[in-house]
Amino acid sequence: MATDTLTALLLLSCPDKIGLVSRISHFIFERGGNILDLDEHVEADGKRFSLRVAWDMQNFSISPADLNDAFTPLAREFNAQWNISFLEKRQRIAIFVSRHDHCLQEILWRHSMGEYAVDIPLIISNHPDLKPLAEHHCIPFHVFPISADNKQQQEAEELELLRKHSIDTVILARYMQILSPQFVQEYPVNIINIHHSFLPAFIGGDPYKQAHQRGVKIIGATSHYVTEDLDTGPIIEQDVIQISHRDTVDDLKRKGRDLERLVLARALQFHTEYRVLVCGQKTIVFQ
């Protein structure tokens, strides 16, 4: 891809001090970059600074291949956690599903409308049920039945398939299996899950039943990065809806499906537009 079509994107977090925005802006300016968007945040305690800045590479004096090396001395001076990406580079997404189709339907519909600058070369499932939906969108569908006896082997084959297709991010669109720590370690901060609850409430299985039994007045959905600890990864996006004592568990599930598909869709958009900065157990999402 030609340099004059590229938009560089820097996500950075470091200890706060005076002049950070000026220093970073000057790094871009003095090399011929034109800043297109800049958003910054300082934690309430004033100790942590975070920034997202995008700039046009058309007249930039440093090539994309050399940009990381050029910025490294400044990042080291700031003691920064950082990453530079290019918005025009399409991420390659693998979607994992089981039998529920609503989240998959939402992502594939939005993708067909051009809302995501991503490629989806494959869908993986532990059941064959959603193969017709994948075929309708001309996406290869791979079935890996999972049991206690074959889980390790099946995950190894799944990972090999992901490597073969150079997958950047894995989306769990109501994939009803817990990934092993070994699998999660292959894609740190690049596996996105949708949990049908407003975390940290009702972790684990059957959260709508748990919510109904507790008599809650709102239910929610949470999209988060997957870590080795179940349903505790950094949260990307959440939403809620009002319910009442008249709602049954089935009513909660029906209302929850709308939340799940929209929350996961927004989380995928934030992630693929490089708007999410992970800071320990939480995220900063630049919108």
Q: Point out which residues pair with 38 in neighbouring strands.
A: 53
Tokens found for residue 232: 């505790």
Report the chain's terminal Cα–Cα distance, integer Å.
27
- Of 113, 112, 109, 135, nearest in space to 122 by CA: 135
| DSSP single-letter state for residue 61 | S
**Angle at alpha carbon of residue 175, lines to 253 and 184, rounded to 5°:** 135
CB 126 within 8 A of CB 98: yes
H helical segments located in 95-199: 102-112, 131-136, 151-164, 181-186
d(CA 248, CA 212): 7
Catalytic sites, residue numbers: 231
